Amino acid sequence: MPTIAVWKFTSCDGCQLTLLDCEDELLPLADQVHIAHFLEVTGASEPGPYDISIVEGSVTTPEEAERIRWIREQSAMLVVVGACATSGGVQALRNFADVDEFRSIVYASPEHISALDTSTPISAHVAVDHELRGCPIDRGQLLEVITALLAGRAPDLPDTSVCTDCKRRGLTCVMVSRGTPCLGPVTHAGCGALCPAVDRGCYGCFGPMTRPNAPALVPLLKRTGMSDDELELVFRTFNANAEWT
């Protein structure tokens, strides 16, 4: 049976939980693969090599930078999942700030905190085979990538914008019809347009699409009443370290 290993780096655990949230598929999947490492689920941990490694989280400590190289060496396929692993995540907000100051705000004895000054995506350290976007990732996309790899085919992961998901779903554009600011036109597809479905503008948790045209979107966002400050905040949240322009 093919071996799967699930690894956690700096993260909230939400993307690995997405695998456990596949309630109907979890046990059938467990019949098809051998779980060699998945600390949130089992204490049984086996040495490599692994056929598929799934990695959640970003690199924020020297130890993590070492560990990801070892995992890459041990893994035939490396799939990185979620905004932390693909862009550095919300903790990449430190990349724009003074980390010494951050340490002293949160910790009484900041000298004990061993953290890098930046939070970086896995691809900044090793080659990755597939990336799943999202904060968190989409359950359906996770199953797609796993079943595709098990079947030996390329996964179908569209790199268009949330707008395409939104149109397919038959939703009315929140920006055009209500003047609600929405990052959908520049945000990577995959969530199924969750925010417009609840009358909310997309806030970009899947990060930028391929070749986003943010300069064209910014004047539209300003027309909905967003200030320069608000514009900076909305692009600097869950995928702050990604290239939006």
Nearer to other proteins, 110 or 129 (CB): 110
CA dihedral 193, 59, 15, 55 (to 10 degrees): 110
User: Is residue 148 within 8 Å of 154, Cβ to Cβ?
Assistant: yes
Which tokens sit at 210?
């391929």
CA dihedral 27, 28, 31, 37 (to 10 degrees): -50
Helix (H) or strand (E) holding 67: helix 62-74
Which 162-191 residues touch other proteins, going by CB under 8 A? 191
Q: Which residue of 39, 154, 176, 216 would you call a contact of other proteins, by CB under 8 A? A: 39
Smallest Cα–Cα separation from 6: which of 151, 156, 132, 135?
132
Site string for other proteins, 116-155 (x = CB under 8 A): -------------------xx-------------------
64 lies in the binding site for other proteins (CB under 8 A): yes
Minimum CB–partner distance for residue 170 and other proteins (Å): 16
Which tokens sit at 145?
């990538």
90 lies in the binding site for other proteins (CB under 8 A): yes
Q: Which residue of 3, 53, 87, 91 would you call a contact of other proteins, by CB under 8 A? A: 91
Q: Is 227 exposed, middle or buried (0-12, 13-18, 19+ CB in 10 A)?
A: exposed
Whole-angstrom Cα distance, residue 142 to residue 28?
15
Which 8-37 residues touch other proteins, going by CB under 8 A? 8, 10-18, 20-21, 23-24, 26-27, 30, 35
Would you give the DSSP letter of residue 6? E
Chain residues that interact with other proteins, rule: CB under 8 A: 8, 10-18, 20-21, 23-24, 26-27, 30, 35, 39-45, 60-61, 63-64, 89-91, 93-94, 97, 99, 101-103, 105-109, 112-115, 135-136, 191, 194-195, 197-200, 203, 205, 230, 233, 237-238
